[in-house]
Structure 1
Amino acid sequence: MPVSSCGLRRLELSVAEPELSVDFFAGVLGWTVIAEPGGSFSGWVGDRLVAGVVAGEQGWRVFFGGDGPRELKINSSVDTGRVLHGPWAPAPRAGEPCWVELMTAEPEDEYWVGELGWEVRPGVEDFVLFTSSRHGDPRPVAGRLTTDRASGWQVYFAVDDLEAACARVSELDGRVLLEPATVPTGRIASIEGPHGGACVLLEQPKGWGGTWAAS
């Protein structure tokens, strides 16, 4: 079994209009944007890389820290290097990733356990927590929800004020797909930019995973 992955190495958003998309997320999440070679961009909060934005049509891709770079199922990969976001990383600041959740109609928990060295902790109803023990006691590192409403890894970003962030989404021609609501993870809203990149906003998470951080 590989060494247990303890969080995200990085994120990448693949969309048709990278510059317009990174400007949208910078406006909503307060990123500092840097132009990269080849027409791609990166978004930063302070000295921490949040995401790369590149040309394509695949949406969000998550890169978990691990012991060898490789492709995984769905929209994910393993990358080597320091984990920037996760249960043992510094607490998420506004604009940074603060959780990831796999939405799928066909749970394959054994696959993720085998590839990333995670354990499975039952949650509520059709939800489970994946935990990592890489640095001691198990901590929640990702979630999995069995559903036929969506598919793929869903990315969560921390915000200080959920209503204000949703207002910025509308001002920048994005869509609020799910109005602010309270779920087991915390207080969330689901949004999408005018050029793609649907994600979830989580208000003032105290740690990686919001309320799951204390579980």
Structure 2
Amino acid sequence: MSLRSGYEPGVPCWVDLSSTDVDASVHFYGEVLGWRAEMVDDPEAGGYGQFFHEGRNVAGVGPVFAEGMPSVWNTYVATEDAAATADRVEDAGGTVVMPPMQIFEEGTMAVFRGPDGAHVCVWQAGRHKGAELVNEPVSLCWNELVTRDVAAAERFYPAVFGWTPRPQEMDGVTYTEWLSGGASVAGMMEMSPNYPPETPSHWMVYFAVADLDDTVAAARRLGASVLIDAMESPPGRFGMFVDPQGAALSVIQLTENQ
């Protein structure tokens, strides 16, 4: 099992769901991915909780930040200093949407918007180190920037996180891996014309699953809008859907050599 007790700076370490209906989301993901939710029993937590699989946290869940905002999966990148990262964001032409904020003794978070329009979060760990299980069925396995401005992203993320872009051609499409310390930590691709014109640049979250067909069928049965039933990729077959509350995510059945 891919167990984690911490993350190096610059590595995506956590994801959470901001939902317009937390109870409905808890039910949906419990049925589709088998997660168990534990909500924080403290009014100051704002209705936040965590999803668990076999006793290990795999993702978070809570209400949207403000009324009228859509449901969305958020990507968090590990940092040793959220305030210093916020300074680099502004120097690189990004926007600090939510300044660094301490969350009890768990850690410090901040939310930024890059010049390409995509939002990304950072996490400075305290007691909460990030996802305890990754790269296994029903856990986080990849984070991918889908952007309308590749050039802006290639300037912004190296300045903020120290990432190095490594583009490669895949079936006539340029796919970029983001490297941190020489290791591949995330991906990037230009948004295709198939996306509705109002869709902004965004970070897509991928969860590994044991059986792609069963997972997509369960999501559809429970009210999800399936965008991709199954598509081949080097890491494995993947699908994409929008959950009943409107948050998009991808699921992938990783090949055995991953």
Pairwise same-fold verdict (TM > 0.5) = yes
The answer for the alignment partner of 1:72 in structure 2 is: 112
Amino acid at match of 2:78: G
Given candidates 206, 211, 224, the residue that maps to 1:174 is 224
Given candidates 110, 135, 139, the residue that maps to 1:92 is 135
The answer for the alignment partner of 1:62 in structure 2 is: 75
Amino acid at match of 2:48: S
The answer for the alignment partner of 1:141 in structure 2 is: 185
Please give the secondary structure, in 1, of the residue aligned with 2:220: helix
1:31 corresponds to 2:35: yes
Given candidates 136, 160, 163, the residue that maps to 2:213 is 163
1:36-55 deviations in Å (ceiling 9; x for gaps): 24333311123432222111
Identity %: 25
Please give the secondary structure, in 2, of the residue aligned with 1:176: strand
The answer for the alignment partner of 2:155 in structure 1 is: 110
- Residue 205 of structure 1 and its aligned partner are, at CA, apart by 5.2
What do you get for the CA RMSD once the two structures are aligned? Answer: 2.2
The answer for the alignment partner of 2:24 in structure 1 is: 20
**What's the TM-score, normalizing by structure 2?**
0.70
Question: CA 1:62–1:206 in 2, change beyond 3 Å: closer, same or farther?
Answer: farther
State how far apart, in whole Å, the 1-side matches of 2:255 and 2:28 are.
22
* 8 Å Cα contact 2:236-2:253 kept in structure 1: yes
1:116-174 deviations in Å (ceiling 9; x for gaps): 111111222332110111xxxx2210111012525200000000000111111122122
The answer for the alignment partner of 1:213 in structure 2 is: none
1:59-110 deviations in Å (ceiling 9; x for gaps): 111111112224332221111127645xxx8652211110010001102212
* 8 Å Cα contact 1:118-1:131 kept in structure 2: yes
Question: CA 1:90–1:119 in 2, change beyond 3 Å: closer, same or farther?
Answer: farther
The answer for the alignment partner of 2:252 in structure 1 is: 202
State how far apart, in whole Å, the 2-side matches of 1:22 and 1:90 are.
19
Please give the secondary structure, in 2, of the residue aligned with 1:141: strand
Gaps of 5+ in 1: 211-215
Please give the secondary structure, in 2, of the residue aligned with 1:80: strand
Equivalent residue pairs, number: 198
User: What is the correspondence of 1:116-135 to structure 2 with a 5 Å cutoff?
Assistant: 116-124=161-169, 125-133=173-181
Structure showing greater relative contact order (alpha-carbon pairs closer than 8 Å, 6 or more residues apart): 1
- Structure of larger gyration radius: 2
